[in-house]
Chains A and B, each alone.
Chain A
Amino acid sequence: MKKNLVIIGNGMAPGRMLEHLFDADPDAYDVTIFNAEPRVNYNRLMLSPVLSGEKTYEDIITHDDAWYQEHGVTLHKNARVSQIDRTAKRVTSENGITLSYDTLVIATGSNPFVIPLPGHDFEGVLVYRDFDDVEQMLDAAKAGGRAVVIGGGLLGLEAAAGLRKQGMEVSVLHLMPTLMERQLDQAAGYLLEKAITDRNIDVITKANTHKILGENGKVTGVQLDDGSIIDATIVVMAVGIRPNTQLASDSGIACNRGIVVDDQMQTSDMDIYALGECVEHDGQCYGLVAPLYDMGKVLAQNLLGASKEYKGSVTATKLKVTGIDLYSAGDFAEGDDREEIVLRDAQAGVYKRIVLKDNKVIGAVLYGDTADGPWFFDLLKKGTDVSAMRDTLVFGQMFQGGAPLDPTAAVAALPDDAEICGCNGICKSQIVNTITDKGLSTLDEVRAHTKASASCGTCTGLVKQLLSLATGEEISTTTIQPICACSDLSNGDVRRLIKAKGLKTIPSVMQELEWKTSCGCPKCRPALNYYLVCDWPDEYADDYQSRYINERVHANIQKDGTYSVVPRMWGGMTSSNELRAIADVVDKFDIPAVKVTGGQRIDMLGIKKDDLPAVWADLGQAGFVSGQAYAKGLRTVKTCVGSDWCRFGTQDSTGLGIKLEKFMWGSWTPAKLKLAVSGCPRNCAEATCKDIGVICLSGGYEIHFAGAAGLDIKGTQVLGMVQTEEDVMEHVVALAQMYREQGHYLERIYKWADRIGLDEIRSQIMDQADKRKTYYDNFVFSQKFAQVDPWSERVSGKDKHEFNPLATLDLREAAE
């Protein structure tokens, strides 16, 4: 019989502990978890990016439902344990589940401290601890108004920055004269305050809250001791945390400030362990994850019969507000036995403070330039005697023993056991060894295999440098590839930030995302233009100067500067009238070449630019619209003759192809999008090498995707089977929209699918009806603005300047 391990609380500490446990012995215990929160395990550190809109809840899940299933763990969600019966060795939850344990682990985390001010129980007075709190804040932000954040520490500032990004007015009230006074001296506190107020957040220091005001049980404002009143629709208290010991102390387990544990993580009851923020070890309670992970490692081994010892941790942390770099580690209180080294560079907004005791680093605060954080932290943890480098210590690692020019040199010089990822306690050699042993080449792989950089992400730069050291490759090409030389952000980051920050013009993207060039380049401008067209179809005004020439003049430029014109022939069908109109146009404009394209339609080549509007006018008369043969958008939908004519045809492939083309023409996509519909598996329309293909079968339609037959030859993958033409439309359109929303510019559907994963795409489009519907609706909405024939627009005079010379001069000598 396996023993029963019951865990109370499903936070970050037990989550990590279980990973260690299952790594070592997956079958030792039957594990049951009670979680007061109605959800799986997620990365609490990343709540701030969720609040600011830079990440979603899905992005920060650590263990999804499948993980619990895979490891045979029973997770009771929304089940707060209300009682521990230590004699019977049983726990009972508020929702009535009773369960016996052989071994119990308490991991109830902490409670945010609520100052018992008059009015603290009004609706709209929130704390900042879990996802429910974030949801409440996001809800409140929708209504707008002002948020008052009480507390100017790490958590309070992260909450303030997030709420501001969500469009609320924000005031931060801080009791002390400067922000984060524990870590920063006055001057540095001022730098921080300025960075915060630059984000249009009011900071009121020396603010003692007198009471919270409200009407009908709802908060309306805050009154300070000096009598002043600040209106507020929500008040967020971020003034500290208290270990959550109630349940343990009610059950008679020894508690001080936290639940008392020994070095084995054992409580006063032999069968009960505790870990995480709820514990007190050696007189210390912790409020950061790194120590909790250390505890988790020790406890996992002890649960398997070892007797490992936890010896306490020193901690380091970073403020996670995009654009503000602040790092602090260790102990920075002043004292007679301590010395300080301070470096200030007001111009560059840099502040560094190193606290020494007996010639050893015991604390470090870095503001503005935090690159040396891990190096100082390493000196601190090792207790290295720094007398020899005292004079240059504050300048950082680069200045010790000559100045290496190459930024990776500093990382190369770090000792093997230097901690790189503080959240997960991963040191340099672990990362380097995993990279070489497993032949890793991308950041994502390193994250997957080592967890380094997978929590708060602030060590990503270092991990990338290690990766490039270990593989000898320029990592920017294999990991985060910036959109272009104008920015360090990847296409994915840019897309996310455009949404998160509600950026709706190219200049605002460049401003907000700190572009390095004044107006971008031919790589980023068309990409940004596409992202904005896709994300804000109704609001964004297309920037023609950011389109490549073909998309700007709606024809394909040829080697001699003339153009080719390809009208749509829906599904490859044409008629004598259409052909006659084409013939007339060819004669009238003396068009030198006419060709049947590989896309089942006709190309007229060698047209002079000035003639284009007139050519289009004539074609338009005959009912032609642009074939968009030039577009990163829907190109052709090839069809075969299908059941109308073919003796093997099972369905009306021609009709379905035409329907798709008429529905989807005009849409812009990350790269070109080509479709085909074949009437039977003989596949005469070559549907299995298209971006999206449909094979008709007698019992329905098989939808394919992610094929190509250009630079790469790729057979398609099957998305799934559907029954009716309507189903085909819905699934194909939803798939195209998912690609539109996620694809990087110039990334064809097969490359996007490689990146996202075929299964993920199948699951969203085939299995999740609500997601499919949303994608479908988004596409339909955007088509309202996209389905305008660019040729007829230009025939009516749009962009006239494109097609006429500005001036024609008399013949003059050009060169001397």
Chain B
Amino acid sequence: MSALLQREHVEEWVSIGSINEIPLRGARCIKNGDMTIALFRTAENKIYAIEDKCPHKNGPLSQGIVHDGCVTCPLHNWVISLESGLTQGADKGQTLAFPTKLIGNEILISLSAKNG
């Protein structure tokens, strides 16, 4: 509980653009130094951010098909939860997931990973 509060405290929100720039059920990338972060917009207009790197063999998750709060990796079809970065089903692994929030149409991201 206290760890969570603490994290809340250090979270620093960065504005990265408008929700309208991401296609519905699609994704866009943001570059942060060497890291690429994929931003997803689901059918329900929720925004999620995870590192653009599949825990299997580093597949670019931003290129996958978005469905039901998950993305299916374009390389070998692992399914990754957008919320937690956790792989679904039998495959084991996790991708960094970042908190996001929407203020109006503006997307904000915090670069301290939820599950880092």
Contact = CB atoms under 8 A, between A and B. Distances in A.
B75 A545 contact: no
Contacts of A520: 67
B26 A545 contact: yes
B30 interface: yes
Contacts of B26: 544-545, 801
14 contacts: A521-B65, A521-B68, A522-B64, A522-B65, A546-B25, A557-B75, A801-B23, A801-B26, A805-B29, A806-B39, A808-B31, A814-B32, A814-B112, A816-B116
Contacts of B9: none
B14 A809 contact: yes
A559 B96 CA distance: 20
Interface string B86-99: 00000000001010
Interface residues of B, number: 44
Given A548-B65, A814-B113, A816-B113, 20 more contacts: A518-B68, A519-B42, A519-B68, A522-B67, A545-B26, A546-B65, A557-B74, A559-B75, A801-B22, A801-B28, A809-B33, A809-B111, A810-B33, A813-B111, A814-B35, A814-B51, A814-B111, A814-B116, A816-B10, A816-B112
B67 A519 contact: yes
Contacts of B28: 801, 805-806
Contact of A525 (B14, B24, B36, B67): B67
Contact of B30 (A544, A560, A805): A805
Contacts of B74: 548-549, 557
Contact of B33 (A545, A548, A553, A812): A812
A815 B112 contact: yes
Given A557-B75, A805-B31, A814-B35, A545 B21 contact: no
A801 B21 contact: yes
B106 to A, nearest CB: 12
Interface of B: 7, 10, 14, 16-17, 21-26, 28-33, 35-36, 39, 42-44, 51, 57-60, 63-68, 72, 74-75, 77, 96, 98, 111-113, 116
Contacts of B116: 814-816
A549 B63 contact: yes
Contacts of A517: 67-68
Interface in A503-546: 517-522, 525-526, 544-546
Interface string A295-336: 000000000000000000000000000000000000000000
A191 B116 CA distance: 55
Interface residues on A, range: 20 to 34
Interface SS majority for chain A: loop
Contact of B29 (A522, A806, A815): A806
B107 to A, nearest CB: 8
Contacts of B59: 561
A434 to B, nearest CB: 38
A637 to B, nearest CB: 28
B96 A561 contact: no
A518 B43 contact: yes
B32 A809 contact: yes
Contacts, number: 110
A807 interface: yes
A807 B30 contact: yes
Nearest to B54: A561
A807 B96 contact: no
A338 to B, nearest CB: 51
Interface string A397-419: 00000000000000000000000
Contacts of B43: 518-519
Interface of A: 517-522, 525-526, 544-546, 548-549, 552-553, 557, 559-561, 801, 805-816
Contact of B21 (A549, A806, A812, A814): A806
Nearest to B66: A545
Contacts of B77: 522
A528 to B, nearest CB: 12
Contacts of A559: 57, 75
B23 A544 contact: yes
Contacts of A526: 65
Nearest to A517: B68
A807 B65 contact: no
B95 to A, nearest CB: 12
Contacts of A809: 14, 16, 30-33, 111
- Among A518, A520, A522, A813, find the residue whose CB has the most chain B CB atoms closer than 10 A: A522
Give the top 5 A-B pairs by smallest Cβ distance, nearest first. A815-B116, A806-B28, A811-B33, A549-B74, A545-B25
Contacts of B29: 805-806
A811 B31 CA distance: 9
Given A522-B77, A806-B39, A814 B96 contact: yes
B94 to A, nearest CB: 12
A549 B42 CA distance: 17
B17 to A, nearest CB: 5
Given A806-B16, A806-B30, A807-B30, A813 B68 contact: no
Contacts of A816: 7, 10, 112-113, 116
B72 A813 contact: no
A810 B74 CA distance: 28
A98 B17 CA distance: 86
